[in-house]
Amino acid sequence: MLFQNNYELPASKSGGFFNTLLQLRDMNIGLFTDTYFPQVSGVSTSVKVLSDELNRQGHRVYIFTTTDPGVKKSEYGVGDEKYVYRFSSVPFTGFKDRRVAVRGFFNVVEIARALRLDVVHTQTEFSLGIMGKFVARQLKIPIVHTYHTNYADYTHYVMDGRLIKPENVKTIVRSFLHNFNAVIAPSEDTKEVLESYQIKAPILVIPTGISFPKNQADKTKNLASKFHLKNKKVILSLGRIAYEKNLNTLVDNFYQISKDYPNAVLMFVGDGPARADLEKQVQDYQIDDRVIFVGMVDHSEIYSYYKLADVFISLSTTETQGLTFIESLDAGTPFIAYPNDFLKSITKNKSVGILADTTAKFIKAIRTYLDNDQYKKDDAGRQKAIKSVSAETFANSVHTLYAKAIVNYHKPNSVLKTLTVDEKLYVGALVKKIPSIIKKKRKADEQ
């Protein structure tokens, strides 16, 4: 059952006609996110998949996000940016490829009012998330949130842990989610984390869906030629090259088996703060000729990189769901990963993947896929796993949540013109750091 008992429709409004009418009516939906394309991340993908599918179903979805160096002002309001509203931003400390908005707090309310939003859906606990809360409060409309990131695993990135410490995450998240109408957790593990924070809003598990474009361009032959991969076995890591991804352990594992498999190569697609250290580790092992660092690639090429590989591997223990695993399956490539509730639910056979929680099991799993081609050829199991997380299933679940949030919403007696005490402390802590962020950015630009 998707909804908790205390979040069912009121008895007086639970009739079939009313419920059907509410489910089908067009909605004006505002998605608020600090991260959106061209920034490549799980959050960006989730937002785009949800937006595209809800638009396809006849709703009007507007994305509120940060500016990005990869999007020119001349592109605003046209093409893919037609329903995207960007607000001035600077790189976020610790995440140079992520940004935080520094302007637009009041302009966003006027924009949202003109668009006649029915519901606000925040995807971040930072700048645009706070804007989303402000908009919902001013317009007296319901607000829901998706908790994408378990921040206790990432606080070392934020001012080297000086701004947010692991023990502070519970208080910060609980303060941010105060007065939300519902919270979406992508997995049962994430729901358990939020429950441990004593979040008062209903917490619903809705796995992020994946949109699978038909007839995707297969560029594997070009890539194989470009990287000299003829007769090679390719082990793929695709995503942000960050310390919490445990990529150094992947290099260790590859080094251990490399002598037994002279035709095997390890390919890293992506970039991030751990890349330099990872490259040094590869040099120290003297396996430079066996490890390829591709760097960032265009989103349209990701499918081909997955398809090129014999196996996709992620040793990260911090994934709330792991969209990359489903993307890999869509391209016909099995995966190796640490177990979590979501992956356990879809990993029914080796054509889908192998879950491992020790070094010995990871190495054994790698050998399994390097020794046996038949697992990649068996596509039936992968297709069954893919269907369980389709974009349509995802959007339908979220839309049902929006509808119930609207029905159950009780408008506050008056609009709060200012933030709560907790929110002021939260915003103040972030804003206080912005001058130093800008100063560092200007200094870096001058060098």
The residue type of 324 is T
At residue 191, the pLDDT reads 93
Task: Indicate yes or no: pTM above 0.75.
Answer: no
User: Would you list the domain boundaries of the chain?
Assistant: 5-211+392-446, 220-388
Same fold yes or no, 5-211+392-446 and 220-388: yes
The residue type of 109 is V
Length of the chain equals: 447
Which tens digit of pLDDT belongs to each residue from 110-155?
999 999 999 999 999 999 999 999 999 999 999 999 999 887 655 5
At residue 418, the pLDDT reads 54
| CA 275 to each of CA 113, 247, 278, 319, 408: distance values in angstroms, whole numbers, following the listed order | 44, 9, 5, 19, 48
Mean pLDDT by 10 residues, the chain (447 residues): 38 48 75 91 90 95 95 90 95 71 91 97 95 96 93 56 67 92 91 94 91 80 96 95 92 96 97 95 97 92 95 84 83 93 88 95 97 90 81 92 88 54 58 56 54
d(CA 384, CA 389): 10
- Of 72, 44, 12, nearest to 240 by C-alpha is 44
CATH number of the domain at 5-211+392-446, out of 2.170.130.30, 1.10.357.10, 3.40.50.2000, 3.30.360.10? 3.40.50.2000
| CA 377 to each of CA 234, 315, 352, 374: distance values in angstroms, whole numbers, following the listed order | 15, 24, 11, 5
- The four Cα atoms 54, 58, 59, 63 give a dihedral, to 10 degrees, of 60
What are phi and psi for residue 60, nearest 5 degrees? -115, 115
Strand partners, 293: 268
CATH number of the domain at 220-388, out of 3.40.50.2000, 3.40.50.1370, 3.40.50.10680, 1.10.1060.10? 3.40.50.2000
Task: Report the first-to-last Cα separation within the chain, whole angstroms.
Answer: 57
